[in-house]
Amino acid sequence: MEVVRLGLAEHVAGRTVAAVEVRHPRSVRRHLAGELDFAARLAGRQVHAARRRGKYLWLDLGDGEALLAHLGMSGQMRIQPADAPDETHLRVRLAFADGGPELRFIDQRTFGGLSVEDLVDGLPVPVAHIARDSLDAHFDLDAVVAGIRRRHTGLKRALLDQTLVSGIGNIYADEALWRAQLHWARPTATLTRAHARAVLTAATEVMTEALAAGGTSFDALYVNINGASGYFDRSLAAYGQDGCPCPRCGTPIRRESFMNRSSYTCPRCQPRPRHPHP
């Protein structure tokens, strides 16, 4: 996502929107005033900056408004020459007054979407409850460590809680817990500051490595794992490794059910706490 944001900042900031074409109404369903209003609100507006939080990206339009994009499972923002053929799943097109490359929102499954939103304290309203992710330049590790230790929950639940820290999915959480040698059911209130710091740092490492090796967005990485190829095939220590030897100690990795999904741990490196959080 950070890669996408940088691309938008480089190619779109400073340009003025000339026209908007909505090719699928579902992709602007979050813009409650409708697609005509959506297009009218954008025409003539200059893009000031590209920003991001978690899976949300937005273009600051000035005057307290932003074009917000939620990429969902399959959404992509692409910069394309105006004469490039339309993509099969092109949903929204923004043309610019300079006649240069267009901004295209492509989304096969239409779970994502675009809307024009008011900014409150610099954030689009739907983003206000989303915490920064650990790759964000303004991520405050100490504040998140303190936040996790104040919770009365299990460690993995805290890592997946988007109001504490965003961007850590099931896979990254299991890999980070394995690296930090902590069990997923560890009550957060019993964590030392060093433990909390270690698992968050490990999550950042896993995300950074995956990003470097696997693609341009976290979504792409999930696609990769379903296809059983790429980075995860070679690099996963715990996630999906049920019965395989732990790369650190050789004990078989164990799968346990967790919130209708799975958690993978090494029973030796990540001993179950005496009083696990349910």
- Write out the residues near Zn ion by the rule CB under 5 A: 246, 248-249, 251, 266, 268-269
Phi and psi angles of residue 33, each rounded to the nearest 5 degrees, phi first? -80, 0
To Zn ion, the closest distance from the beta carbon of 203 in angstroms equals 18
To Zn ion, the closest distance from the beta carbon of 265 in angstroms equals 9
- Identify which of residues 151 and 248 has a Cβ nearer to Zn ion in the complex: 248
To Zn ion, the closest distance from the beta carbon of 257 in angstroms equals 20
Contact partners, residue 83, CB within 8 Å, separation at least 6 = none
Which residues pair with residue 116 across a beta bridge?
67
Reduce the DSSP state of residue 212 to 3 states and report it: helix
Residue type at position 137: A
To Zn ion, the closest distance from the beta carbon of 89 in angstroms equals 43
To Zn ion, the closest distance from the beta carbon of 177 in angstroms equals 12
Residue 113: closest CA among 148, 141, 164, 74: 74
Which residues pair with residue 77 across a beta bridge?
105
The alpha-carbon radius of gyration of the chain (Å, integer) is 21
- Dist. CA 180–CA 197, nearest whole Å: 9
